[in-house]
Amino acid sequence: MSLPIRNVAIIAHVDHGKTTLVDSLLEQSGIFREGEAVPTCVLDSNDLERERGITILSKNTAVHYKDTLINIVDTPGHADFGGEVERVLGMVDGCLLIVDANEGPMPQTRFVLKKALEKGLRPIVVVNKIDRPRADPNVAVDKVLDLFIELGTDDDQCDFPYLFASGLAGFAKEALEDEDKDMQPLFEAILHHVSPPVGDPEKPLQLQVTTLDYSDYLGRIVIGKVHNGTIRMGEQAALVREDGKIIKNRITKLMGFEGLSRVDVEAAAAGNIVAVAGFADANIGETITSPDDPQALPLIKVDEPTLQMTFAVNDSPFAGQEGSYVTSRQLRDRLMRELETNVALRVEETDSPDRFAVSGRGELHLGILIETMRREGYEFQVSQPQVIYREVSGQPCEPYEQLILDVPEEAVGGCMERLGQRRGEMQDMMMAGTGRAQLEFVVPARGLIGFRGDFMRITRGEGIMNHSFLEYRPLSGEIETRRNGVLIAFEEGVATFYALKNAEDRGVFFIEPGTRVYKGMIVGENNRPQDLELNICKAKQLTNHRAASGDELVQLQSPMEMGLERALEYISADEMVEVTPESIRLRKMNKKLAKR
């Protein structure tokens, strides 16, 4: 007889501590041997996730508690990775909603919670980080209730159970006055409030593919929940494709989850989450079913992309010098491969064989893809992000975002003025009485392109900015996004200290002395609205009277650092970002590329 099962997703806004909470659940469930080193953020296995401290890809793990198998699915908190959230919520029967005791629900909390409630899930609310200064857990619970009511939940969902916890300290409790012990109250809440999976082991097999993985030995591995029937190692099964085509194959490997590992199993009944090998052509949303009575489950539907960028083969004078994969065929193959696992992404071929229109859920969604490809050795260039317009009821519409800013009080006026220029409408303002204010806006998505740089300047780096997709609304008209002109390299060569020092009064540079540049490369921002070409490779003529040591005490201003995301926000419509494994360069678009 198989163990009782609970399938639960953990959902939260970025940085509200859900991955750390999972660490505590894993540690206290006994999956680590005595004396074994316990890693931190075990579910953030991707290098980019660890660097940025965010969850990008959904992950599965499983723990045993009181003879019950609890499958835990970690989901991303960013709305940009909503495609990950939507597909994994179909695997679970309940969810833990993690809320920071200090901040309360934030924009992405709203996004992920809305998806969970639409699936009919009844969340268990966990008010996390209650041991931090300035934490107010009771106010956080009230804010969550307000959010539930705002989202139009039914009475049963509004009567949610809640606990107070600290993932870092490793405890959860039902009341604030209870003693800080361990995570047992949270385990008990999962057993009590999360329903066992529904499904009939006697019906024909139905397993929906929700995640794809790859192994050098097994090939493509599909992960999903058995909705009905029983899946057995070595038996014949059928894959129902998106177009209705049926492909029969043998299950060559069947694995369940145990802590952080996958373990071989002979069979898995309805309700289990398993990994299956043997279907090399399976894609997300398709169904593995009985070959005698093939019945497909409804395909997974995800929100449409809101931003589009052009990915093009690098044609700068430095093309091919730093990357391993530089051709249009290699770029196309990599983008098509990404489509197999990234359900919220769209890739379209254009009238030019070396350019591709790539659409995603936001700048972060596309930025993570670009950074991942760059680390894999790809070299290419990308254009300014453009919003995707859509026709609703015969009227042209554009995407709007809900934006929440947490800023010092002295920066409130500057933020309101700048967002007013970008067609933002203020919805709410709260003064915390601690020298900081929280502002809520509804703003067109194109009004946010390039706003982060302005925001960091207005708040002097002390502001926190969060936004998520709200809805499509009628076009809001022209948006004023003033920006100074740029400084452009006049010729190919190496930037010199002498030339940069002489041109310092022209603006702010993005490069240092010794940087290789080429004609058309953007090297800085002009103080004036016009673009300006500069000769920054000019060397100082040395004579007997002018020794090289004469400049030792003269210093340059620090250059403005241009990381990938900042570069994507900064460029204009006639500019591109050149991305290589070693460099991020800004450049003016080639005339021939602009005409296409």
Residue set of the binding site for GTP: 15-20, 128-131
Give the ranges where 168-236 is alpha helix by DSSP (H). Answer: 184-193
For 588, other C-beta atoms within 10 Å of its C-beta total 20
B/e letters for 100-133, b = 16+ CB within 10 Å, e = fewer, are: bbbbbbbbbbbbbbbbbbeeebbbbbbbbbbeee
Select from 219, 252, 220 the least CA-distant residue to 236: 252
Hey, CA dihedral for 71, 297, 82, 354, is it positive or negative? positive
> How many angstroms separate the Cα of 196 from the Cα of each of 142, 178, 272, 283?
29, 29, 11, 27
Cα 284–chain centre separation = 18
Report strand pairing: 162-166 vs 123-128.
parallel
Element (H, E) at 366: helix 363-375
To which residue do tokens 């052509």 refer?
A: 281
Cα 291–chain centre separation = 37
Q: Which parts are annotated binding residues?
A: 15-20, 128-131
DSSP 69-129: EEEEEE---SGGGHHHHHHHGGG-SEEEEEEETTT-S-HHHHHHHHHHHHTT--EEEEEE-
Q: Which residues, 6 or more positions from 394, have their beta carbon under 8 angstroms from its beta carbon?
A: none
Task: State the Cα–Cα distance between residues 417 and 436, nearest whole angstrom.
Answer: 18
Point out which residues pair with 383 in neighbouring strands.
Answer: 576
Six token digits for residue 511: 């490069």
Select from 29, 117, 91, 63 the least CA-distant residue to 75: 91
